[in-house]
Amino acid sequence: MASWGEASESRLIGKRVTRLSGKDKVTGKAKYTFDINEPGMLYGRILRSETAHATVLGIDLSEAEALPGVKAVIPIIEVGNKLRYQGQEIAAVAADTDDIAKDAIRLIHVDLEELPSVVTEADAMAADAPQIREDWAGNQSEPNVREDGDINAGFTEAAVEVEATYHTPVQTHVCLETHGHVAKWEDEQNLTVWASTQGVFGVRNDFAQHFELPANQVRVITEHMGGGFGSKFGPGIEGRTAVELARITGKAVKLMLTRKDEHLVAGNRPSMTQQVRAGATSDGRLIAYDMKGYGTGGISSGAGFTGPYVYHVPNSRAERVNVAVNAGNQRAMRAPGHPQGAFAMDSLMDELAEKLGMDPVEFRRINDPNEVRQAQYTLGAQEIGWHRRNHVPGSGTGVKKRGMGLGSGQWGGGGGRGTEARVTINADGTVEAVTGTQDIGTGIRTVIAMIVAEEFGLDITDVRVNVGDSQPGLPSGGSGGSQTTPSVAPVIKTAAAAAKQKLFERIAPLLEAPVGDLRVGTGTIYVVSDRTKTITWKQAAGQLGMDSISEGGTWDEELRQNGAAGTQFAEVEVDTQTGALRVIKIVAVQDCGLAINRLTTESQINGGVIMGLGQAILEERFMDPETGRMLNANLEDYKVPGTFEIPEIQSIVFDTHRKVTGVGEPPCIPTPGAIANAVYNAIGVRIRSLPITPDKILDALAEKA
């Protein structure tokens, strides 16, 4: 049975290893899609709707076409069709410079018939709201209902009840590198595209299909990628537009979204509003849960969220509805549906615990069936110093009050089939590992090098890793769902093992030992029964003469496992005069199975916590009901955490077994709930709406007083 071996035997696996591309990134040597410049390259720009809802009556491209330096102008939307949100694509240009392209799109004249728009959930659900989706009566989808047990019977048994409404607004991904592509036709049948994407093969297949090309004649390259968080799978309209502009002009075209575009059309995490009533028995068992909620994913569906989430409730009913508004579509965003659901559920848990007079940790122990998290509660409480919390919320003295809270999360991350990989040993001893996955900043390049180097007894720098390129024809899935490492690592491991086996077979006669007796040392191969028989790796490879060994791998399910439990504890300080909220510390205990690279795993946890922190205390998309426009499509008023906001983060890699589980998404889930509960513990007033900003804190304190 395949295994990653014992920790004591590992030289690299499970250790903290600096990522291979780190130096290139901090020195600027690493080339992102944004950095690609081809000779004679043109710049693409897209004219987007500034109106939330309108019918296109006419598009006049002539003035843009006449601007010197403009090489192509193409319509995207057809006359007669509807624009349904600000930012929707109307037309595009390619020009000699980005400035000319920007000027040119302003010379495209669009004749519109404006239609009434709705941009808030409340307005969309109002009785007299304009119908903005023909297939949804009242702008609402059919409810998704899930029932378990008998909630009426459950409430009869309940000793305490809580009824509350929780809300999280739309959050956008804020990828540091905006979405975009550089497209170049090598000839009429061969297309190369540098794409800022989470899935080079998905993008390749989309282009092949859309432009009717053989898939093996489309090459998609993503050497480095500046953040996707779920928003960068398909090429999008902007990707197809870049390729089309390149086709028409016969030149390479770079088309990157602007920051404003990014907020408007490149995806978002849907909002959530839920009314929930829940009850618990006097001995602290959750007994009934009745939730009705809605969210908006813009004009599209996809606004689901979890509830009652990780806690066991024998009698529950959950009803969720999608609400359509005139705003850009949602896309998957780091643990879709989880952070907003977790925030509501963990807030609810604390409200129930208080009514029961029970410690929030104890209340979770009773109701959380997950054994891993049970252990994490103990560790997290110990690390944050849970005994220091206010036993009576808000009881701290002074202007600045401190408090503690916790939240929970659960994810899969078990990976899947669909990755092809090849590990090659050359006669000069050099090693290559090739697969069509992509390193979206999470460190898979380094993980691959570590696995191969461990298998061969080499250093990671001895392994050349080729990822983020479809041309070798070794497909792998998109990097989403925390699936990259659990999907890729087993294939690399088995490929490396197969290559090693082949090499052993070649040199066994030389060492006069059976293949089964050979082992790798550090840069050597030796015979386990007679350690005097040893040769260097280089000498061994030299036996290949003019050959190379090149082996594929298989996805061995024994090498990975699904399921990642997490819990986080937060300590905060609230200035009760100014409403300023400072998160002091987050203890993030995250189950992830075998962390192949402990350092990049910790980075993942840090990143998740920071993203959760942004959702908890800063981030919100503001839509103006009157104009239908986003008011903060920038990074001034759409606020993301900076160095002043980021607290001490104690990232605890809580490894429970030696199988690989992905950890990209789960660390952002428990953070908002933990912070919200800590704020309550500090000031004794509950904020049931994210983000927890000074205005809400001051208003809540004023209401309490």
CA distance 108 to 562: 51
Check: CB of residue 343 under 8 Å from CB of residue 166. Answer: yes
Q: Nearer to other proteins by C-beta: 79 or 631?
A: 631
Q: Nearer to other proteins by C-beta: 545 or 642?
A: 642
CB of 698 to other proteins, least distance (A): 4
Q: Nearer to other proteins by C-beta: 110 or 352?
A: 110
Q: Nearer to other proteins by C-beta: 11 or 260?
A: 260
Which one, of 488, 436, 492, 465, lies nearest residue 197 by Cα?
436
CB of 400 to other proteins, least distance (A): 12
Q: Nearer to other proteins by C-beta: 391 or 644?
A: 644
Q: Nearer to other proteins by C-beta: 29 or 106?
A: 106
Check: CB of residue 311 under 8 Å from CB of residue 349. Answer: yes
Residues lying near other proteins in the complex (CB under 8 A) are found at 50, 577-580, 618, 622, 624-627, 629, 631-632, 636-637, 639, 641-645, 693-696, 698-699, 702
Q: Nearer to other proteins by C-beta: 240 or 696?
A: 696
CA distance 14 to 594: 7
CB of 266 to other proteins, least distance (A): 19
Gyration radius of the chain over CA positions: 28
Please give the C-alpha separations between residue 146 and each of 53, 317, 527, 531, 626, in angstroms, as whole numbers: 34, 6, 61, 64, 36
CB of 693 to other proteins, least distance (A): 6
CB of 169 to other proteins, least distance (A): 12
Please give the C-alpha separations between residue 203 and each of 193, 333, 474, in angstroms, as whole numbers: 9, 19, 14
Q: Phi and psi for 340 in degrees, rounded to 5? A: -70, -40
Q: Name the helix (H) or strand (E) containing 653.
A: strand 648-654
HEC-encoded secondary structure of 225-286: CCCCCCCCCCCHHHHHHHHHHHHHHCCCEEEECCHHHHHHHCCEECCEEEEEEEEECCCCCE
CB of 640 to other proteins, least distance (A): 8
Which one, of 426, 411, 551, lies nearest residue 495 by Cα?
551
CB of 577 to other proteins, least distance (A): 4
CB of 293 to other proteins, least distance (A): 23
CB of 472 to other proteins, least distance (A): 42
Q: Nearer to other proteins by C-beta: 169 or 307?
A: 169
Please give the C-alpha separations between residue 323 and each of 169, 304, 688, in angstroms, as whole numbers: 13, 11, 20
State CA 136 to chain mean position distance: 29
DSSP, residue by residue, 328-377: PPP---SSTTHHHHHHHHHHHHHHHHHHHT--HHHHHHHH---HHHHHHH
CA distance 548 to 59: 59
CB of 326 to other proteins, least distance (A): 15
Q: Nearer to other proteins by C-beta: 34 or 622?
A: 622
Q: Nearer to other proteins by C-beta: 422 or 696?
A: 696
CA angle at residue 82 from 81 to 88, to 5 degrees?
Answer: 110
Q: Which SS3 state, helix, strand or coil, does residue 640 take?
A: coil
